[in-house]
Structure 1
Amino acid sequence: MSTYFMNKKKVATQVCISHKSQGQQAIVLQWLLTRRDLEKENHWVTVKESLNSELDGNLSPEGVTQILNLCYNDLPADQKNCLLYLSIFQKGCTINRKRLIKRWIAEGFIVEKDGKTVEEVAEDCFNELIGRNIVRPVEHSNNGKVKACQVHDMILEYILFKSSEENFITVVGGHWLTPTPSNKVRRLSLHNSNPEDAKEKIESMNLSHVRSLTVFGNLHHLPSYSFKSGILQVLDLEGCTNLNTNQQDKIFKMFQLKYLSLRKVNVKKLPSEIGKLQYLETLDIRETDVKELPSSAVRLQRMVHLLAGNKFTRLALRFTEAIAKMTTLQTLSGIEISKKLSHSPRKHAQPHKVEEGKHLQY
């Protein structure tokens, strides 16, 4: 057996024994063991020697940072972006796989590769993060596929500060305090926090270049001008409360939007201006009271995923001519097809895929 395999087995054993009761530290070390360059013997020996003092006892904060830097630097550029993006979510947040993948694609992190579609490449990236023990699966579908995940606290703290350093994502509120960026904010995530503190921090920021906005909790403290960004591509308000008319009007003037989630938001009707969002690829209005899209939605000819319906109130979105003419649809859920449309001789556009189990039955 080679020295490489002997050393790797020895250190792996040490990790399991020395850090068995320190869950967070063990997680970091397990990530270390997945590094690709450790397949080269000299790299493994170097890392092993540099961590000898750390492996003799509890990992120091410096040791943890050293390991995390090694692991982070080992990732390809696209996976680095996808990893840092996880800092958008709150501590302990359960992250839906499909929601995350759709957002990665809308942000432009994923491109077609080796004959695979962007969706397939994104799935591979997600599975890679799972395989490296960076995120842990918390929910599985009936077919065994990971449905949702969480980020380990120690890793989340690391990527949060890494994102802040690189001005990749700006987080307001939440569990850890990060400095207010001196540069223009690119991606903004508002966590549950003191409304007045949040408002003060937001007002001190340059939001003219925000391309992504995520809000958790109450929208009441969010200044209305936060919705004025003409280059915003991703707007995720899932589960937010107190969306007012002024804010809603501004949403449908964000003409560059690719991803819009109003899931679990108190919305009863979408305005005709939605037809102006001609770059929109994902619209998530599940668990709202929206019963029908306005006729102007026919102009949404880049729509890929239309997610609707409310399984709790048994409400479905009416299948209309506007939806029928969305020729790029791949995913359509929560739809009610009326007898009039189902018997119409007109040929409707057929979505490439209908999400399994999402149709509401009456």
Structure 2
Amino acid sequence: MSSLTYLFLPLTVGAVTTPNRIWMAPLTRSRAGQPGDVPTELNARYYAQRASAGFIVSEATQISREGQGYAWTPGIYTDAQEAGWRRVVEAVHSAGGRMGLQLWHVGRVSHHLLQEGGQQPVAPSAVRAEKTECFVVLPDGTPAQVPVDLPRELSQREIRRIIGEYADSAVRARRAGFDLVEIHSANGYLLNQFLDLQANQRRDEYGGSLPNRARFLLEVVDAVTQAIGRERVGVRLSPKGVFSDMTVEGSWETALYVAAELDKRKIAYLHIAEPDWAGGPPLTEEERRSLRHAFAPVLVFCGGYDATRAEAAIAAGVADAIAFGKLFLANPDLPERFRRQAPLNAPDPSTFYGGGEKGYTDYPSLQTTGA
């Protein structure tokens, strides 16, 4: 049996108490039902299999058609999508789990084939994300990775509209039964683009200085917390991350500023996607402790952790929980495998995106293998 102790302690996260600190990270799988990008029974089975996680953060879920950057990803802006997610959450709750919905707008990481009427994607500024692709279905029905389009700059009126869409989607998420929501401000998507010195070249109140670049995110946080309560809101950041053509310059100072602002708002948690998975410089232990100092509520880290390293981070007081992505993808009973120091299934990258049960709901648990 495992000597792990801290990973299996309960944790209060805003309005939710989790039985352990082993979180399932958000994982895009591109398996939403078509037409309409609606969660299905297959999605419900996938998440319910992983209900032993202390907390599940759903795959990134677009708050509007405009917010979509990859084919077959789910939304939370129609009644059908809300009903589909309700079935997913009911399955997770019936299996004893807890789940939050990650709210997503991709901004410039998109393509006209994904946009209503073939429109340009939107962004803080008309700056293309270089060496960045998105996943589309071509007019002949062929799935393909294609370079993202040049975006157009959002007007302030459109920014206010998007803030409202975040709040509306959070309300839908709560109606669907989600315990919390996570505002996705990481990995080069819209809110991260506003934080970024290179992507954001605006000269109005949403660009330039650090407080201006953080304004959009914080206005989204304020709108969502007003809509559903601060105890049900988390935020994800990716300091020093370079995914989707983000720049390292200034990103650490920005993360500390945002963390301190979120601390003032006493949201439920802050989720840090560490940069090393996408080629960015890794966080130092001193930087992790600086985040801990800036943000007093629940602090979650994700990226390259195994059970031993996760246990050490929590024991040291740096993290309150650790989220696991690929390990949870391939091991639906990951907490039990950690507890028993059991072998781990290896993930199959060829089935990460799109498809059906294969590489999705057919990874064996210890129970199904008789171990």
* TM-score when normalising by structure 2: 0.32
Whose relative contact order is higher, 1 or 2, with alpha carbons under 8 Å and at least 6 apart?
Answer: 2
Structure with greater Cα Rg = 1
* TM-score when normalising by structure 1: 0.33
- Structure number with higher strand proportion: 2
